[in-house]
Amino acid sequence: MTITFTAATAPAAGFVVTCGCDEATVRAEHIDNYDAAQAAADQTNAAPDQRRPLPGCSIPTVCPDYPLRAEPIDPDGIAPLINVSNVNAVALLDALGLPSQSEAPDCQDLEPFPAKAPDNGMTIPITVVDAYGDLPAEEFLGRVLTALGLAPEDLGTPDIQFGRMYVGGRPAGFLQQRLRDLHELASWCATHERRVVWH
């Protein structure tokens, strides 16, 4: 599981039919409403043997094997998007002074996962994050700047592997790099008068 930081959605400026590749989405013809865009996608998908890569497709040997879809056009362009694993999200949210667990009362009653389960051998620690929220761009930017100023140098964490189970570690400097990415996101959101969201 992961946590994604990005800009709050805005009303669509139109729709496109796309494979999902950024450049193909940018180059696609703009369609005024969702129903017309989805109908165009369905028409193309009805003849998969005729499908060719869209102009700007970044993986032309793969995308034609999958259906096209209608996507909204953001009026401000493509917003920055930062996606981090649950393990790394905990460190990032902590640096920002944000909770990594839901504040909902029903989430507080969950039993903790046992560190050692009888007769089940070793337990690999899996971080569970139930974090979501939004903040005004200026407030989020303040948290990022504070974290950049106060966070100690990130020395990273090692990978954990046991049999076929693998939990990726974190390279040195990861926290600072992600905070710089979040600074870029918060600045973009402030410029476009959008809130920062994470989920």
Q: How many CB atoms lie within 10 A of CB 38?
A: 17
Neighbouring C-beta atoms of residue 187, cutoff 10 Å: 14
The residue written with tokens 């979040």 in the block is 182
- Percent helix, strand and coil across the chain, each rounded to 5? 35, 15, 50
Instruction: State what percent of residues in the chain have pLDDT above 90.
Output: 65
Least confident of 15-19, 140-144, 170-174: 170-174
Over its C-alpha atoms, the chain yields an Rg (Å, rounded) of: 21
Residue 24 CA to its chain's centroid (Å): 20
Which residues on adjacent β-strands are paired with residue 157? 170
Lowest-pLDDT range, 66-75, 107-116, 165-174? 107-116
Non-local (6+) Cβ contacts of 5 within 8 A are 81, 82, 83, 84, 182, 185, 196, 197, 198
Q: The whole model's pTM is what?
A: 0.77
Domain boundaries along the sequence of the chain: 15-72, 80-198
Q: What is the pLDDT of residues 151-164, one digit of tens each?
A: 888 898 888 887 88
